[in-house]
Amino acid sequence: MRFPRDVYLHAAEAVTGYGLGGPGLAARLRAGPAAPTVTIPESEDAGDGRQRKLMSQAARLAAIAMRRALAAARFTTDRTDLAEVGAYFGVGASGGTLTELSSLTAASRIDDRFDLRRFGEQGLQACNPLLAFRLMNNFSLCHGSILAGLGGPNGAWFSRGGGTVTAIMEAAWALCEGECERAITGGSDCAHSALTLAELRRAGALELGVGPAEAAAAVALSTVGEGALARLCAATLVPPPQRPGSVELATLLPATLAPPDDQLAAALSLSAQHELDAALFLGWSTQARATLRSALSEQLQHAEPIDVTASLGETLAAGPAVGLVAAADLIASEGRRRVALLSASIDGDISMLILEAP
Amino acid sequence: MAPRPVYIRGVAAVTPLGRSWAESAAALSDGATAIRAVRGCDVAGYPCTVAAQISEPLPDPDEPDRRLALLRPAAEAAWREAQLDVASQRLGVFIGAESGRASLSTLSRLVRAAGGGATFDHARFGLEARALCQPLVPLMMSPAAVAQQLAAGLAAAGPVRTVSLACASSAAAVAEAARAIRLGLCDAALCGGVGADVEPLMLAGFGKLGALSLRGLSCPFDSRRDGFVVGEGAAALVLSAERGPALVELCGAGRSLDGHHLTAPDPEGSGARLAMQTALSQAGLSAVDYVQAHGTSTPHNDAVEAQALRAVFGSALDHALVSSVKGALGHWVAGAGALGLLCAYHALVEGVVLPTAGLETPDPACALPHVMGRGRRARVESALVNSFAFGGANCSLVLRRCA
């Protein structure tokens, strides 16, 4: 659907295995794969050492991306002014790490068996007092907003892709409804988290062409067009025809994506209304991505769509946000007029975002 | 075109004081409290050894995910009460939920298999992950599992959203559902939240943070308060663009960030004020008859909320009533906002304002028109519900009686 007001991107910043930054990201995605982990220059890190001890890796990456996007958009010229800036993020479930649980459980055993009373007596002494901070999903949003001093309307959606598109759309709607004048939106995740990695492995996803990676990305939105990189002109999130009733990994098969009456066709109908000159896509498996590539190629006249997942790796909640940054880069750095971003998430949602030159 | 109004068509809950909302509300009105010594696991030595727990067996004893075992019966009851006939594509599901938990014994097995020492061996874990993860049951861990499974049960093919915003999760989920209906993205929505955090890891985690009551008291706004008490339960409601027999409209929602500190509220209460003012402004109101406060029983939060309420309403607050359900049912974290909303709904529909259990000696720093002891009969035309989360995310909702 189209938004009732114009919503503009004023900055688009990514924190990925390629490094930090939005400009040039599309070219890097085309050139080859990113490192699966992010190298953070000390000067770019989030907060101070004490603050970082409170952060999961996803929260740390999100805070860096948010700060860079706020600065690039010049939203940070007056801190008191940030009180009305909204924040909408897709957040993953990768907050806690098993490393923190190791010392806790090791101290709680009697005869090689976990003992609750011993946990209360010795285990708690070994427990990182900050553990709860890392376990709560919303802290990927809150650390960055606290460091930046954001005070506006907000939301954190659990995401393995689709929730991040929801966050982006909700930010746009908040601007359209006048809930705030400016907002930061995006996503952050770390698929290297031991539990996430184990889940991917257990479900056989690593054999589906998925390379787990970590990333974060944030874009700065406003309803003011002057100085903008791009305009977010339409978006849709199409749920699967039938909810699977489980969160087992979705393997999207070409047969289930066949137009005209399925959800891929519904998502593609949005881009079919626009003349595209570039497109990007993210998908859960090699097979799904082949389907998405084929569908987008039919809509593109003279260009190949960019496979974000193949280059970036599977970054779950961060994926669509990184894709959005790359889409903005295609417009701002490479002069494209209209770019589509198609994503198929693990939970079965398919989304389409359309960006135009401002 | 004017935005579509949003009506409340059905409500239901499963609480430690009852398997239905009517049963729970009756007990709450009598001044009952569910705060007891933790049952089912040995918590000797923990910072806080009390909680508000649902008695076993659970309403859905075969469901391995405690979140679903609590929320599914409430969701089904709310849906039955709503008596709506909605096309599946026009029905959405919006749930506030955090991650489920593997048991500590399961985590212990995982850690032991990954080396067993105080240092986690990632390489070994990675090699053995497939076998190790079987007992984790991803369905029980994912925040999204709750909304997905409820949607599957209702055959809802509209938007399905999981909001993970700590203590503001379910209030924000209700706000999202209302916005989706207003914008025409769906015509009806099941929404709500669940808290299932009465388990060793969270009792330890919150306890180590110093957030829980060492005295074992949940007494919001009382001079003796020293922390919150964890509770569990589920609250669900059905919102609709179609009024039908609805008596109450959800007419305002406001959200803000403190941008101040991870656990401590902004001492000025500016974020809380902004959320309340935005919700009131959206509702076109400057005062309400009743406030269901966030009121966690923590020293700073209660004082800041009281100060923020004074700042927002001024002398009009003296004509209202204020209470917090956490005194009786503890803090449901992700489910707290939805439970608070049901209390406000009860005041509007039944004309009974539920009391703040545990409140005996109001703190002068929290001077508010409290409802203490038993429920109080009152004509309530409008109500405000507050949810203020760890991390500084705030959400306020406004309800009013339909014209």
In the residue annotation, B294 being an active-site residue is answered as yes
Task: Check pLDDT > 90 for residue A349.
Answer: no
Average pLDDT of chain A, as a whole number: 85
Higher pLDDT, B232 or A125: B232
Q: Are residues A87 and B125, on separate chains, in Cβ contact within 8 Å?
A: no
Angle A162-176/A319-332 helices, nearest 10 degrees? 60
Give per-residue pLDDT as tens, A144-196. Answer: 999 998 999 999 998 888 899 999 999 999 999 899 999 999 999 988 876 67
Predicted local distance difference test score (pLDDT) of residue A98: 62
Side-chain-facing half-sphere of A343: CA atoms under 13 Å? 34
Q: How many other CB atoms are found less than 10 A from the CB of residue B340?
A: 29
Report the predicted TM-score, pTM, of the whole model to 2 decimal places.
Answer: 0.90
Q: How high is the pLDDT of residue B286? A: 97
The answer to whether the beta carbons of residues B117 and A126 sit under 8 Å apart is no
Residues of B in contact with A148 (CB under 8 A): 259
Interface of A with B in 101-130 (CB under 8 A): 101-103, 105-109, 112, 114, 116-117, 119-121, 123-124, 126-130
DSSP A123: I
Q: What's B134's DSSP letter?
A: G
**Between A137, A173, A202, which is nearest B164 by CB?**
A137
pLDDT at B148: 84
Of the residues B167, B219, B251, B366, only one is catalytic, namely B167
Question: Would you state the pLDDT for residue A258?
Answer: 38
Cβ–Cβ of A155/B97 closer than 8 Å?
no
Q: Considering only CB atoms, which chain B residues are within 8 Å of A114?
A: 104-105, 108
Q: Which residues pair with B188 in a beta bridge?
A: B91, B240
Partner-chain residue, chosen from A98, A151, A244, that has the shortest CB–CB distance to B257? A151
Q: What DSSP assignment string belongs to A151-196? A: -S-EEEEE-SSHHHHHHHHHHHHHHHTTS-SEEEEEEEEETTSHHH
**Which residues in chain B come in under a pLDDT of 50?**
135-137
**Chain A hits for B145, Cβ within 8 Å:** 246-247
CA distance B288 to B367: 17
Choose, out of A57, A142, A206, A351, the residue to mutate when testing the contact with B (most B CBs < 10 Å): A142
State the smallest CA–CA distance between residue A166 and chain B in angstroms: 8
What does the pLDDT read at residue A134? 65
Q: Binning pLDDT at 50, 70 and 90, where does residue A252 land?
A: very low
Dig out the tokens for A166 from the structure: 């929801």
To the nearest whole angstrom, how far is the Cα of B182 from the nearest Cα of chain A?
11
Rounded to an integer, what distance in angstroms lies between the CA atom of residue A1 and that of residue B180? 13
Dump pLDDT digits (tens) for B301-333.
Answer: 999 999 999 999 999 999 999 999 999 999 999
Beta strand A214-222 pairing with A2-16: antiparallel
**What is the distance between the alpha carbons of residues B105 and B25, in angstroms, rounded to a whole number?**
36
B84 CA to chain A: closest CA distance, Å? 20
Residue of A nearest to B147 (CA): A245
Compute the distance between CA of residue B4 and CA of residue B178 in angstroms, rounded to an integer. 9
Q: Which of B294, B343, B346, B366 is catalytic?
A: B294
**Nearest neighbour of A93 by CB, restricted to B114, B142, B390:** B142
Question: CA distances (Å), B172 to each of A14, A19, A157, B261, in order?
Answer: 27, 34, 10, 20
d(CA A4, CA A314): 33
A92 vs B168: which has the higher pLDDT: B168
Q: Which residues of A touch B393 (CB under 8 A)?
A: 138, 141-142, 154, 156
Q: Is B172 or A93 the better-scoring residue by pLDDT?
A: B172
| Segment A136-143 mean pLDDT | 83
Residues 262-301 (A) with a CB less than 8 A from some CB of B: none
